[in-house]
Homo-oligomer: A and B are copies of this chain.
Amino acid sequence: MKNYADLWLGYRKIEDPGDTSLLKKFCISGVAESDKVVVNAVSELRTGLKAMLGIEPDIVFGSAGAPVSINSGKDMQDAEEYTVSIRDEGLAIDSKSGAGILYGVFDILRNVACGGDVRSIYASEKKVRPSNPLRMLNHWDNMSGDIERGYSGNSFFFENDDIVINERTEDYARLIASVGINGVVINNVNVKNAASYLITDRFFDKVAKLGEIFAGYGIRLFLSLNYASTIEIGGLDSADPLDEKVIAWWKTKMAEIFEKIPTLGGFLVKADSEGRPGPFTYGRTQADGANMLADIVKEHGGIIIWRCFVYNCKQDWRDRKTDRARAGYDNFMPMDGDYHDNVILQIKNGPMDFQIREPISPLLGGLKKTNQMLEVQIAQEYTGHQIDLCYLIPEFKEILGFRTYCSEDRDTVADIISGETFGSRFSGIAAVTNTGNDFNWTGNYLAGANLFGFGRLAFDTELSSEQIAEEFVRMTISRDDAVVKEIVGILLPSREIYERYTSPLGIGWMVTPGVHYGCSVDGYEYDRWGTYHRADHLGIGVDRSDKGTGYAMQYNEPNASVYNDPEKCPDELVLFFHHLPYTHKLHSGKTVIQHIYDTHFEGYEEARELAKKWSTLKGKVDDEIFENVSERFERQLANAREWCDQVNSYFFRKSGIPDEKGRQIW
């Protein structure tokens, strides 16, 4: 028996399915029947329909088009677009690629699994084009088997410095393909142990095998690369991107890699970041580094995804001029236009690091001549470690919908990363993933909604948070309308609740250092990471206005003016941009200090409400799911209480201002 859950591919039997006649006949067109992805798609279709409805459909194949050549993100979208329609009292799936056929199959299976009426859903032809060309998951899995920021067991790719390939590998590919993921980076961006670099002969065969498995589901394999490989495994004394010896070494190495791993899509690189080596070491620009590698992989069809997480991680806390928030823009904007066309800059959603609330990185909307990819994090590093519930799709929706004012129209983050705004050659979205070898993949069963939801949203940025949550619940837990409503009602507000009992007003970083779970208001305040709240007995916040670090001015207008002015700045970000007295009145009409007290008391109560709602589901959902989530809620409440009491006590002890409502502060 398998030792892991099926999640949303459980295909539970549908007792009273209604009219299923359309599901007995399928016509698949556009791609050859023998295409590996099509073979997998057909197999999935048969498995799902058999399990849910006992149907063994007839499947016929229409004409196959000529193989499409993929030379850009737009080509990818063209190929992966699919159509589902009713034809000859059966369903027809058309696409130019196996992946598109597979997505069509999953479209149908999802609608069936959710209990939808297929005849009405596909009454008029449904054509779906992926919103983003690249839709990737980044694993931070180390070859030792542990996962950096992993909260759901160990890696299912690596164990004891070797690669693991088993039944779970393919099921993982199925799972993520089913929500539209088309790229995976399997190893941690912090590639530290030279002995375990994946780009040596020791691992080629197994990496190639992984690549084949993924390719069978329309997923491209990528690897994280150590920028200093020339030194650490190449025996050179330099990693200078302009050094001929360095270039020559990479040329030979890349030819070898792409020969041995023909399915490889390219590389993800974290350079000059948090102690990682990079071009700065040699007085070169980030563009020099990225372009060197990109030029070499180009002939092999590869791309270089270059992370923009470059900042001074040895800041002196006394220094109020240096601002980590500024660093991405300062380091990458000056070279806008210099990056070659198979380089993609991967930009974290905020300027800091995946806090529960941050402004959008000003690089998004700043860069206009550079391929861009948005990076979000579904691994709940700062958002509750998959112990606390934090359904992140509403946050991602906010990010995608943010207007950057970088052009007359189509100026949202979603527009930029889709490639529409600037006609970028490549673009997309990536998530640091939340999976591990736990039975249920994501530690907390409900954290599976973030994995599911990220994929769904990446594929179709128009979907609502609610629709995604409902799909997840119906497919994974229950089709009972009342149960679905209850669980969706638990998921939807969970991110705002988490925000309320943790860091107020955009300030962030009040977490236990290193661990990043649990409260420590001053934990990072006197440290070197550039993550300060600057609270004293009068007020709190970081002045990032034009009178402070000037970060607010990195935005296009009118965003810059809005953020720059404490009277205009949205409440939820006001302490990110301004140092304000505790007595400052927010737009809500509350003072800063009263907002802190209120949100913390309320956030804890709201978390209790969520747990209480969940407790009513005993017997209505699978016992294992019920117990798993209940146990997490128990730990969440302990955590939420600590956050509430510690934050309130900290600010009461510091400000001396009592709670208006006279509640217990310690």
CB distance from A653 to the nearest CB of B (A): 4
User: Which listed segment binds B: A115-123, A384-392, A535-543?
Assistant: A535-543
A656 touches B318 (CB 8 A): no
Indicate whether A520 reaches chain B with its CB closer than 8 angstroms: yes
Set B318, B519, B535, B656: member contacting A526, Cβ < 8 A: B519
Indicate whether A521 reaches chain B with its CB closer than 8 angstroms: yes
B645 touches A318 (CB 8 A): yes
Report the Cα distance A593→B538, complex, angstroms.
Answer: 18
Nearest opposing residue in chain B for A645, CB measure: B318
Which A626-660 residues have C-beta < 8 A from chain B?
642, 645-646, 649-650, 652-656
Indicate whether A317 reaches chain B with its CB closer than 8 angstroms: yes
Indicate whether A75 reaches chain B with its CB closer than 8 angstroms: no
CB distance from A507 to the nearest CB of B (A): 15
Report the Cα distance A519→B642, complex, angstroms.
Answer: 22
B519 touches A666 (CB 8 A): no
Report the Cα distance A519→B537, complex, angstroms.
Answer: 20
Nearest opposing residue in chain B for A319, CB measure: B666
Task: State the main secondary structure of chain A at its contact with B.
Answer: loop
Interface centre among A521, A522, A646, A649 (most CB of B within 10 A): A522
CB distance from A650 to the nearest CB of B (A): 8
Q: Evaluate whether A653 and B535 lie within 8 angstroms (CB atoms) in the complex, with A522-B521, A522-B522, A646-B526 already known.
A: yes
* Chain B residues with CB under 8 A of A521: 522
Set B538, B646, B649, B652: member contacting A656, Cβ < 8 A: B538
CB distance from A210 to the nearest CB of B (A): 35
* Chain B residues with CB under 8 A of A654: 536-537, 653-654
* Chain B residues with CB under 8 A of A646: 526
B655 touches A537 (CB 8 A): yes
Report the Cα distance A520→B524, complex, angstroms.
Answer: 10
Q: Evaluate whether A642 and B526 lie within 8 angstroms (CB atoms) in the complex, with A317-B666, A318-B666, A654-B654 already known.
A: yes
CB distance from A330 to the nearest CB of B (A): 24
Which A292-347 residues have C-beta < 8 A from chain B?
317-318
* Chain B residues with CB under 8 A of A649: 526
* Chain B residues with CB under 8 A of A526: 519-520, 642, 645-646, 649-650
Nearest opposing residue in chain B for A666, CB measure: B318
Report the Cα distance A318→B655, complex, angstroms.
Answer: 19
* Chain B residues with CB under 8 A of A535: 653
CB distance from A505 to the nearest CB of B (A): 18
B519 touches A653 (CB 8 A): no
A653 touches B317 (CB 8 A): no
Report the Cα distance A519→B513, complex, angstroms.
Answer: 13
Report the Cα distance A521→B527, complex, angstroms.
Answer: 12
* Chain B residues with CB under 8 A of A523: 520, 523
Report the Cα distance A656→B538, complex, angstroms.
Answer: 8
* Chain B residues with CB under 8 A of A645: 318, 526
Report the Cα distance A258→B366, complex, angstroms.
Answer: 77
Which A492-551 residues have C-beta < 8 A from chain B?
519-523, 526, 535-538
Report the Cα distance A535→B646, complex, angstroms.
Answer: 13
* Chain B residues with CB under 8 A of A653: 535-537, 654
Nearest opposing residue in chain B for A649, CB measure: B526
A77-121 to B contact mask, C-beta < 8 Å, 1/0: 000000000000000000000000000000000000000000000
Q: Evaluate whether A656 and B519 lie within 8 angstroms (CB atoms) in the complex, with A318-B645, A318-B666, A666-B318 already known.
A: no
Nearest opposing residue in chain B for A320, CB measure: B666
Report the Cα distance A650→B318, complex, angstroms.
Answer: 12
Nearest opposing residue in chain B for A653, CB measure: B536
Report the Cα distance A646→B666, complex, angstroms.
Answer: 24
Which A112-163 residues have C-beta < 8 A from chain B?
none
Set B317, B318, B656, B666: member contacting A537, Cβ < 8 A: B656
Report the Cα distance A412→B519, complex, angstroms.
Answer: 44
A536 touches B652 (CB 8 A): yes
* Chain B residues with CB under 8 A of A656: 536-538
Report the Cα distance A537→B519, complex, angstroms.
Answer: 20
Report the Cα distance A521→B317, complex, angstroms.
Answer: 15
CB distance from A186 to the nearest CB of B (A): 32
Which A532-577 residues have C-beta < 8 A from chain B?
535-538
CB distance from A643 to the nearest CB of B (A): 10
Report the Cα distance A521→B650, complex, angstroms.
Answer: 12
CB distance from A416 to the nearest CB of B (A): 39
* Chain B residues with CB under 8 A of A652: 536
Report the Cα distance A519→B652, complex, angstroms.
Answer: 22
Mind listing 7 A-B residue pairs with CB under 8 Å?
A519-B526, A520-B526, A523-B523, A526-B650, A536-B656, A537-B656, A654-B654
Besides A522-B522, A526-B642, A537-B656, 18 more A-B contacts (Cβ < 8 Å) are: A318-B645, A519-B526, A520-B522, A520-B523, A520-B526, A522-B650, A526-B645, A526-B646, A526-B649, A535-B653, A536-B652, A536-B653, A536-B656, A537-B653, A537-B654, A538-B656, A653-B654, A654-B654
Q: Which 9 A-B pairs have the closest CB atoms?
A: A536-B653, A537-B656, A318-B666, A526-B646, A522-B522, A537-B537, A654-B654, A537-B654, A537-B653
